[in-house]
Structure 1
Amino acid sequence: MVTNKKDIRALTKDQLRDFFVAQGDKAFRGNQVYEWLWQKSAHSFEAMTNISKDTRDLLDTHFVINHIEVDTMQRSNDGTIKNAVKLHDGLIVESVLIPTPTRTTACVSSQVGCSLDCKFCATARLKRMRNLNPDEIYDQVVAIDRESKTYFNRPLSNIVFMGMGEPLMNYNNVIKAIDKITSDEGLGMSPKRITLSTSGVPKMIKKMADDGVKFNLAVSLHSAVDEVRTSIMPFNETFPLEDLREALEYWYAKTKRKVSYEYVVWRGINDSQKDIDAFVKFCKYVPCKVNIIEYNPIDDGEFQQASNEALENYIKTLEANRIVVNVRRSRGKDIDAACGQLANKS
């Protein structure tokens, strides 16, 4: 339901304190409400049990809590859980819980649809309808943390911004959400357990470095040859590899933190020796590690997983050049929850 009341979670703690003072109440009441909203993730004013009914009614008159709801939840044969998350205006995004024996990772969305146009990704085929607010990003993490405790008997350990949308095209809201997730007044998670994955927006990578962010950076690269990358990720024409390289060098100079490259190898697209050599050269610009990701088809067959021989060539050449490489097997394919498959089919 869309309402004209202000979303209370758009207020800072100081603004909440000021609101109560203006109503003739004590400033600390704002602290109490803030704790309910963030640490306790209250979805209603009624749930704020240590606050008087009159105060709860006052809040209800002025504000609304635009919380998310898990509309449908699907469980994969491998334990992966996909949530179709309904937002307050009825739009849907998807988020994923990925369990392993040692950790539970939340893969969260930052936009409804996506601003970019990668041809191999189902989400890119949805038009971008809007950016997610900080609280909507935060709520996805809270929901997955709850599911992790329920189904795996342990709290969430890691977060990746690899769901729907390009996080750097919603920079301010993503940063506000991460600030809340890592704050002692929020979920208190270490920023070292958070990875932001971008397709590569050079000026925003530089801004992250200037802002002194403490989380990890991953780049969906998929080719280090400009014409190949542009053919599969057309926005590369606007943000070419030379600009991306310069931004990543800037990032490393400022933060001294390695970059992760996410890389899918496709048959006949980026599986030649020329592609491998270009990628190895790109990897040498800044200290990095490489995740070779299994491809998950999205129906039309234009993109096909490369042969095992091509993958082995990549791995052997990277390792020979002392570049750390991992092969990531996809999880949740049977429920369209794997990388590149989030498309709101539900």
Structure 2
Amino acid sequence: MATIKEKKNIRHLSLSELEQYFETLGEKKFRVKQVWEWLWQKHAHSFDEMTNLSKDLRHMLADNFSFPAISVDATQYSADGTIKSRFRTADHHLVEGVLIPTDERKTACVSSQIGCSLSCKFCATGYMDRKRNLDYDEIYDEVVLINQQSERVFNKKLTNIVFMGMGEPLLNYKNVLKAIEKITSPDGLAMSPRRITVSTAGVAKMIRQLGDDKVKFKLALSLHAANDRKRNEIMPINETNNIKALVDALNYFYQQTGNEITFEYILFKDFNDSHQDADELIKIYRQVPADLINIIEYNPIDQALFSKPDENAIQQFMQHLERNRVNVRLRHSRGKDIDAACGQLANKE
């Protein structure tokens, strides 16, 4: 019995592969440019949308290629203007992305995996299974759809992208880099890589790889505890990627790229918010040419027992860092009322 040949995803063809295919059809060269524009600049989500191609050619493409675009499955609007989207993939998985608006910025927070394998104790996504990595064209779709939302709701294009949604970007390395290549390409969204930040829970080997690949985007390390004992407790990845290994990897990344490095540090009441914790954090900050420490308000989730320190404790922690000449900023949570804030993405109904 003949097996049905699986169609190749048309967006996984390079421009030269697409040109070769059109040559075999005997089609004119300008058709390749038209299709390429639909795929990456005009953001078609089906062959039917390619209206300047003949119906016969559209049918021919549909017969020979798949076009598995993601779509918006549900949207929630926060009282503070934040918009959370639940996206559905062509194979019916769900993944979330967030549009975070401020007066001067419109930021997309995008996911890189469906679920996550890292099991960080404070993060809702960490309690989900990792189903699979997102392909680069799916990550690109997330950004395109959030950009369209931004233009529709705020009449402004995205200014920034952060890979801080579901999943660990450096465990989906090739797809994340390829997605960023498309996002920054003149053929794609033409966004500056300096406006993109990739956030990692800390995969030392892949941080070094970013340095070797001379990437141009910014890097954020989700530190959240400033000694190995506490970090092991809340982030199991630290057992194989301890703080010293991460410090060494960040220094290597900076030597190779000169790109901005940020530390992310969620404050948990009575866990990592003491003077001693602050002193240990200062010590790490001084070992790396980091630009900034982002102090993040903790957003409670059903599965974890952590709580947020009171405002006074947060201020004291911040002031101690500032007195020690640390560039520190408090990142207020956005979209808490719709479970769209840092650590809350979990495909809830």
Shorter-chain TM band: over 0.9
* 8 Å Cα contact 2:217/2:259 also seen in 1: no
Q: Which amino acid in 2 is paired with 1:231?
A: E
Q: Which amino acid in 1 is paired with 2:115?
A: G
* Distance in 2 separating the partners of 1:321 and 1:214: 30
Aligned to 2:208: 206
Displacement after TM superposition at 1:287 (Å): 2.1
Q: Which amino acid in 2 is paired with 1:294?
A: E
Deviations 1:219-247 (A, max 9, x none): 11001100000001011001111100100
* Distance in 1 separating the partners of 2:155 and 2:260: 32
Q: Which of structure 1's runs of 4+ aligned residues deviate more than 3 A?
A: none
- Report the secondary structure of 1:98's partner residue: strand
Displacement after TM superposition at 1:305 (Å): 0.8
Correspondences of 1:158-197 after superposition (within 5 Å): 158-197=160-199
* Distance in 2 separating the partners of 1:307 and 1:15: 58
Aligned to 1:298: 301
Aligned to 1:219: 221
Aligned to 1:135: 137
**Which stretch shifts more, 252-261 or 70-79?**
252-261
- Report the secondary structure of 1:284's partner residue: helix
* Distance in 2 separating the partners of 1:46 and 1:70: 19
Deviations 1:296-322 (A, max 9, x none): 000245101123333223212221222
2:245 equivalent to 1:252: no
Which of 318, 325, 339 is the equivalent residue of 2:328?
Answer: 325
Deviations 1:15-62 (A, max 9, x none): 111111122223442222111100011111121122222221210110
Correspondences of 1:29-108 after superposition (within 5 Å): 29-108=31-110
Q: Which amino acid in 2 is paired with 1:204?
A: M
Q: Which amino acid in 2 is paired with 1:163?
A: G
Displacement after TM superposition at 1:111 (Å): 0.2
Deviations 1:190-222 (A, max 9, x none): 111110000110010110111011111011100
Identity of aligned residues (%): 55
Across the aligned residues of Structure 1 and Structure 2, the Cα RMSD in angstroms comes to 1.4
* 8 Å Cα contact 1:271/1:310 also seen in 2: yes
| Structure 2: gaps spanning 5 or more residues | none
* 8 Å Cα contact 2:121/2:304 also seen in 1: no
Displacement after TM superposition at 1:10 (Å): 0.9
- Report the secondary structure of 2:287's partner residue: coil
2:22 equivalent to 1:20: yes
> Normalising to structure 2: TM-score of the pair?
0.96
- Report the secondary structure of 1:257's partner residue: coil
Aligned to 2:281: 279
* 8 Å Cα contact 2:121/2:235 also seen in 1: yes
Q: Which amino acid in 1 is paired with 2:348?
A: K
Displacement after TM superposition at 1:256 (Å): 1.7
* Distance in 1 separating the partners of 2:319 and 2:49: 57
* 8 Å Cα contact 2:274/2:317 also seen in 1: no
